[in-house]
Amino acid sequence: MGGCGWRMAGQAFYADGRYRIHDEEATFRIASVADFYKKVLKETPIKIEKHEKFFRIGEQSALVIALALLVLRRADLTGMTGFGSTAIVGCGDEGSHTGNLTYWRDYVDNGRVAAQGHLFVGTLASTPLCQLALVLGCHAPVFYVSAAAGTGSVAAEMDFLADRCDSMFLVESGVDFCRCLFLRRDDAGLTSREAVRTMGDAG
C-alpha cells in the first residue's frame, strides 16, 4: 500500500447555488438542484445506468451525481471501459442531517402517523454515494467516513481501498456545499493524504 498513488482527473465544487469546475475561473448559477441534475443527466455523453424507477432521488444525491458527471465529462478517461472498478469514499461532518430533517418534517406533516417511505433511505449518510454507484454501475466498495475532509481517517480509507480499485470518487458534502473529486490510480502520483488536501482547492 505504501507505493500507491493517485492522479487527480477532475474536480467540481458547489456552494450557495453556484458550481465551478476545478480548472475554470468561472462559476455558474443554477436555478434549482433538481433542474441542474436533469440538465446534466440529459447532456452527459457518458453511458450511465438509469435506476430512477427504483428510487426518488434526494437533493444531496442529485448534487453528488450531477457534479460527478460534470467531472467525468472533463476527465481523461483514456483506457477506461466502464466504472465497475471505481470506488467511492464520502465524508462530511453533517452525516445525514438534511435527510433526517426532511423525513421528520414529512412525518409531522402527516400527523405523526406515517411518512413517505422513499424519504427514509435519505436518512442514511451513504445514500448519495450508493445512488452515484447505481447510476455509474460501480461495483467497487462504497464508504462513508463521518469526518471533515483533511482528516487522516479519509486518507486511511483511501489507502485501504487502493488495491481494490482503479479509480475513485472522493465526495465531501455538507448542508450547503458539495465537492466531488475523481482520482485515477498512478503510482507516481499523490499520496492519499495529498489527494484529500486537494479537495480544498476547489473552493
* CB of 185 closer than 8 Å to CB of 166: yes
Residue 138 CA, distance from chain mean position: 12
pLDDT reading at 2 higher than 90: no
Instruction: Give the separation between CA 147 and CA 131, rounded to whole angstroms.
Output: 20
Percent of the chain clearing pLDDT 90 (strictly above): 32
pLDDT reading at 151 higher than 80: no
129: its cell numbers: 454515494
83 by Cβ neighbours in 10 Å (0-12 / 13-18 / 19+) ranks as buried
pLDDT reading at 96 higher than 70: no
Q: In which band, very low, low, confident or very high, does the pLDDT at 162 lie, cut at 50, 70 and 90? A: confident
CATH code 3.30.70.120 for 6-202: no
b/e burial code for range 145-166 (CB count within 10 A of at least 16 → b): beeebeeeebbebbbebbeebe
- Over residues 167-179, the mean pLDDT reads 88
pLDDT reading at 1 higher than 50: no
- Over residues 127-142, the mean pLDDT reads 90
Scan for cell 435506476, then name that residue: 51
Q: Are strands 167-173 and 142-145 parallel, antiparallel or unpaired?
A: unpaired
pLDDT reading at 75 higher than 80: yes
Does residue 159 or residue 122 have the better pLDDT? 159
Residue 13 CA, distance from chain mean position: 11
